[in-house]
Amino acid sequence: MEETIAKPGFFSRIAGLVSREQEDFEEDYDAPAPAPLRVHAAHRYSITVRRQVVSFQDAVSAADGLKRGEQQVLNLTMATTELREKIKDFMCGVNYAAEGTWEELGDNVYLLAPASAFIEVAPASPRMQTERN
């Protein structure tokens, strides 16, 4: 009796090589068990609104908050002109050192944001431009 052996085709041989290599690799490789996946709660982003800055100590508190990475909104309308200029100079220095963003929101109202915050400033509306001029 004559026995016929089927010759494997090209794709069968390639598939056989890949599956054999993978099986050999899995047998030889003794990997440690993967570490469990840990999910951390997202940190909350802090924004501090200082509605009435009337002393230099309020500015120091705002500077400390900016150094901690908290966004600050300062309303200097209630401060005297001399104190307002002193606070603006101080906060400009702190903001420069922190590489933060400084935006004027209104008359004597400022936004200071840490470098990690992205601040997008929309263009002024025609009405706002008219009031400024």
125: exposed, middle or buried (Cβ count in 10 Å: 0-12, 13-18, 19+): exposed
Concatenated DSSP letters for 25-62? HHHH--PPPPPPP--PPPPPPPEEEES---SHHHHHHH
What pTM value is reported for the model? 0.57
User: What integer pLDDT is reported at residue 130 of this predicted model?
Assistant: 55
The string of pLDDT tens digits covering residues 1-21 is: 566 666 667 667 766 665 554
Reduce the DSSP state of residue 86 to 3 states and report it: helix
Q: Considering only the top CATH level, what class is 47-116? A: alpha beta
Q: Tell me, what amino acid is at 126? A: P
d(CA 100, CA 63): 11
